[in-house]
Amino acid sequence: MDVVVTGIGLHCALGSLLTSWQRLLAGESGLRSHQPFPELSPRLLGLIDKEPVQLSSLTQQVVASALQDAGLVTPLPDCGVVMGSSRSCQGLWEQLALKMSREGQGEIGLEYWLDTLLHQASVTAACQVGTTGPVLAPMAACSTGIWAIAQGYELIQTGQCQRVIVGAIEAPITRLTLTAFSQMGVLAKTGYYPFDKHREGLIPGEGGAVLVLESAELALSRGAPIYGQVLGFSMTCDAEHATSPSQNRYSATRAVKQCLERSHLCPSDIDYIHAHGSGTPINDKNEAELIQYLFPHGVPVSGSKGATGHTLGACAAIGAAFCLMSLKEQQLPPSVGLKEPECDLDWITSPRQGLIRRVLCFSFGFGGQNAVVAFGHPSLNRLENRLQVGRLKVEG
């Protein structure tokens, strides 16, 4: 059963979906110096507004955008929901801890606690959509977004749903997140330079992306525009270190190969790779060498974190949204912040027009979480034929 994308919602430091896409193509960055917490020094961050956003409100905003883009009206009782987040309501927990510490409160209200559970993003989305179908809440560090897409894809493939809202939302600008990354020595100071010889580390950003997945039959029956088709995915784990990727790249390599095999593709079929590009020394080196090894013929590569910031659990969902925009617009976005590449790859440093039919989105997270998803243009082979036949039947 073919699974297609009929709607996208996105909000990040660059703006909404179309604004973000236009600014990304223009090589703009949404990163600015902020001091959201008076006890911490100002630093570069990818804030959506002047103050850190709350998870539930951001979830509602992104889901509403995706539903509107797909031409859907709630309630959608049979719709599945797969919404992930790696930090969830951490910011609210920290605010509560500070309040308890300052006011000497020893306990919290049950109602407040129930509104800050780890799966709050999926609960919020499910209530907003009005579904009584499956509701899942994956959590896999930076790979969370692809996990959500994969689980939604399987819900449709197995016949449990005909439509699933998938994605990841992150509100990671909190005291603990900034302090922890600072202690690890991975925060950039002057700018975000993924894959660059002078890269300094990552810059946290908030945001999220939601995709509306539907069976091709359902999308066709309601005449929905299609961004692209989910061709396949793979997820593996290094099971080696809490933060650093495996130096032998075995599991990461296996993830890419499995994704290609399940998508019935070979490396030469790929027209673009949206790289993870965390901006940290080891991760970027590992990823670039992985691409060199698996795609020796050369393939255009770029990443978007230099423009959006590292949105942690939401970064792969945002990357997937940009991949789908590339398929729709037949344009490849540049790697903002990349000036002097360390590795010799076909880096995209300015917008590039071309025939784009199949793309990959990479994500490599803490704990050795490796995830890859492949998307195809809706005019591809079997799907194109089915859509043409369906149109003739509808018109007849």
Residues annotated as catalytic (active site), given as ranges? 142, 276, 310
CA distance 130 to 122: 12
8 A C-beta contact, residue 359 and residue 267 = no
Give me 15's structure tokens: 């703006």
Q: d(Cα 107, Cα 202) in Å, to the nearest integer?
A: 36
Q: Is the peptide bond before 77 cis (omega within 30 degrees of 0)?
A: no
Q: Which residue has the tokens 């027009």?
A: 353
CA-CA distance, 6 to 225, in Å (whole number)? 6
The residues near 322 (Cβ < 8 Å, ≥ 6 apart) are: 21, 24, 274, 304, 333
* Tokens 């979480």 sit on residue: 369
* Distance (Å, whole) CA 199 – CA 190: 10
Q: Please give the Cα distance from 148 to 18 (Å, whole number).
A: 22
